Amino acid sequence: MNWAIPFFPYPPSKPGFWSPVTSTLNWCEEDYYATVYSAEIVNTLTNLLFMALGVKGIISCIRNQHDQIFLVAYLGYLVVGTGSFLFHTTLKYPMQLVDELSMIYTTCLMVYASFAFSRPTGVRVAIGVSLSALSVFITLYYHYLQDPTFHQNTYALLTIVVVFRSMYTMEKTLRPKWRKSREEDRLEKEKRGLPVPSKERQHFENVRDTKLLATMWCMVGYGLAMFLGGFAIWNLDNHFCSDIRRWRRQVGLPWGIFLEGHGWWHIMTGIGAYLYIVWGIQLRHCLKGQQDDYHLHWARVWHIPDVVRTAPSSKGANSQQKKLS
């Protein structure tokens, strides 16, 4: 059956500006068919979303005065996108290391943010040293093995650890039934000489946090769906590469672009990873009791969320009086 929609035939692959390929991975997209200056043009350009969201996150961190660990995390996120851009442009082994190892380092930063918050200085130092040593070990061992499966499994394990830890922390912090009873909380605050919230204020906080918790769980589900969906598409791309290449040539350009599975992986994991950092920022503000000072702005599921600082007028004397009443 002939493809009825107008299309341009795929150009043949040709020697490229960055030849020869030295990376240990080469994806299903054919090399140098669009331009001699980019080995995998779709896999390259889909990283622009990573880079744009990285810049957006950095600007948001500076503007809204989020903790500096998240500014560093966004810088790492930007390095991941830039490294992947360079890797798929050149298919050179050094660029592959920039791409893959920056994923490990950025995830280790999020592990530190999750486990070290509000811990004594000695514990924070121990966690930081341990994660640094782990990063060095992964770097050296991966360079020795040059086995992409080791990198993928390590990245997946680190991500699972930090996501489940953050889920536990979120529930414990925001779910009213998991907190201390109101009387226990009142007695502890009285003992420490802290203001005791009124029943009305306690009810307000419970309703506020329950609504926020529902939004944050929605973000978790959406982010996981992006990660798992992108992983599934990428695996189909790996297992059925010869068939997919044939289908691409049958439908031609630009329609064949939509069959680039690794490109979809970039888009979907870029969104998923960005959602996770935003989620981590909001969770940190909740741990610091700043739910009234910061707002998780996410109007629609298809919008890019952000944690924004509340307008100064809403944090003035009246707001402080409410907290203490």
66 is in an annotated binding site: no
**pLDDT per residue over 6-15, tens digit each?**
888 999 988 9
Consult the annotation and say whether 262 binds a ligand. Answer: yes
Per-residue pLDDT band for 44 (boundaries 50, 70, 90) equals very high
Is 27 annotated to bind a ligand? Reply is: yes
Chain centroid to CA 306: how far? 13
Inter-CA distances, 142 with 1, 22, 105, 108, 132, Å: 47, 16, 13, 16, 15
- Domain boundaries, given as residue ranges, for the chain: 41-183+202-324
For residue 171, say whether it is annotated as part of any ligand binding site: no
Q: How many CB atoms lie within 10 A of CB 211?
A: 11
Q: Token pair of 260, please?
A: 């680039």
272-311 burial code (b ≥16 CB/10 A, e <16): bbbbbbbbbbbbbbbeeeebbebbbebeeeeeebbbebee
Distance (Å, whole) CA 321 – CA 325? 6
Name which residue leads in pLDDT, 197 or 224. Answer: 224
Q: Annotated binding residue at 88? A: yes
pLDDT band at 186 (very low <50, low <70, confident <90, very high): low
Residue 72 has pLDDT above 80, yes or no: yes
Residues 241-282 have pLDDT tens digits of 999 999 999 999 999 999 999 999 999 999 999 999 999 999
CA–CA gap between residue 129 and residue 118 (Å, rounded):
17
Q: Which fold has domain 41-183+202-324?
A: Rhopdopsin 7-helix transmembrane proteins (1.20.1070)
Arithmetic mean of pLDDT, 121-137? 95
The residues facing 35 across adjacent strands are 38
- Identify which has the larger pLDDT, 310 or 183: 310
Q: What is the mean pLDDT of the chain?
A: 88
Is residue 295's pLDDT more than 80? Answer: yes
Among 60, 74, 152, 141, which residue's Cα sits nearest to residue 109?
74
Contacts of 6 (CB under 8 A, 6+ apart): none
Average pLDDT over residues 50-62: 96
The answer to whether residue 316 scores a pLDDT higher than 60 is: no
DSSP E strand boundaries for the chain: 294-297, 306-309
